[in-house]
Chains A and B, each alone.
Chain A
Amino acid sequence: MNPTGSTYAGKLALITGSRRGVGRLLAEHILRNGGRVAGFARGEATIEHPDYHHFQVDIGDPASVQQGFAALKKVADAVHIVINNAAVLTSQYAMIMPPAQAQAMINTNLMGAFMVSREASKLMRKGKWGRIINIGSMAVSLEPIGDSVYAACKAGLATLSNVMAKELAPLNITCNTLSITAIKTDMLAQLPGDKIDAVIAGLPIPRYAEPDDIFNIVDFLASERSSYITAQTIYMGGVN
Chain B
Amino acid sequence: MLNQDAIHAIILQALNNINDERGPDEQLTVGLDTRLFGADAVLDSLSLVSVIVDVEGAVSEQAGRDISLTDDRAMSQAVSPFTDVRSLTAYIELLLSEQA
Which A residues are closer than 8 A to B by beta carbons?
66, 122, 125, 167, 170-171
Query: Could you tell me how many residues of chain B have their Cβ less than 8 Å away from some Cβ of chain A?
Result: 5
For residue A164, give the distance in angstroms from its CB to the closest CB of chain B. 12
Kindly state the separation between the CA atoms of A118 and B54 in the bound complex, as whole angstroms: 14
Within 8 A of A (CB), among B32-72: 46, 50, 53, 57, 66
Q: What residues on B are CB-neighbors of A171 within 8 Å?
A: 46
| C-alpha gap A125/B57 in the complex (Å) | 13
Query: Do A170 and B57 touch (CB < 8 A)?
Result: no
Inter-chain contact count A-B, CB under 8 Å?
Answer: 8
- With beta carbons under 8 angstroms apart, the residue of A66, A122, A170 that contacts B46 is A170
Known pairs A66-B66, A125-B53, A170-B46. 5 more at Cβ < 8 A? Answer: A122-B53, A122-B57, A125-B50, A167-B46, A171-B46
Residue of A nearest to B49 (CB): A167
Q: Which residues of A contact B46 (CB under 8 A)?
A: 167, 170-171
In the complex, chain A residues whose CB is within 8 Å of the CB of B53: 122, 125
Q: Which residue of B lies closest to A122 (CB)?
A: B53
CB<8 Å pairs between A and B, sample of 8:
A66-B66, A122-B53, A122-B57, A125-B50, A125-B53, A167-B46, A170-B46, A171-B46
A167 to B53, CA, bound (A): 14
CB distance from A75 to the nearest CB of B (A): 16
State the CA gap A121–B57 with chains docked (Å).
Answer: 13
B50 CB contacts on chain A under 8 angstroms: 125
Q: Nearest 5 A-B pairs (CB), nearest first? A: A122-B53, A170-B46, A125-B50, A125-B53, A122-B57
What residues of chain B lie closer than 8 Å to A66, measured between beta carbons? 66
Chain B residues whose CB sits within 8 angstroms of the CB of A122 once the complex forms: 53, 57
A122 to B66, CA, bound (A): 15
Q: Which residues of A contact B66 (CB under 8 A)?
A: 66
Measured CB to CB, the closest approach of chain B to A175, in angstroms, equals 15
Residue of B nearest to A67 (CB): B66
CA distance A197 to B50 in the complex (A): 48
Alpha-carbon separation in the docked complex, A170 to B22 (Å):
13
A205–B28 alpha-carbon span in the complex (Å): 56
Chain B residues, CB < 8 A from A170: 46
Least Cβ–Cβ distance between B82 and chain A, in angstroms: 18
Residue of A nearest to B21 (CB): A128
- Interface residues in B56-95 by Cβ distance below 8 A to A read 57, 66
CA distance A167 to B48 in the complex (A): 13
Which of chain B's residues have a CB closer than 8 A to the CB of A125? Answer: 50, 53
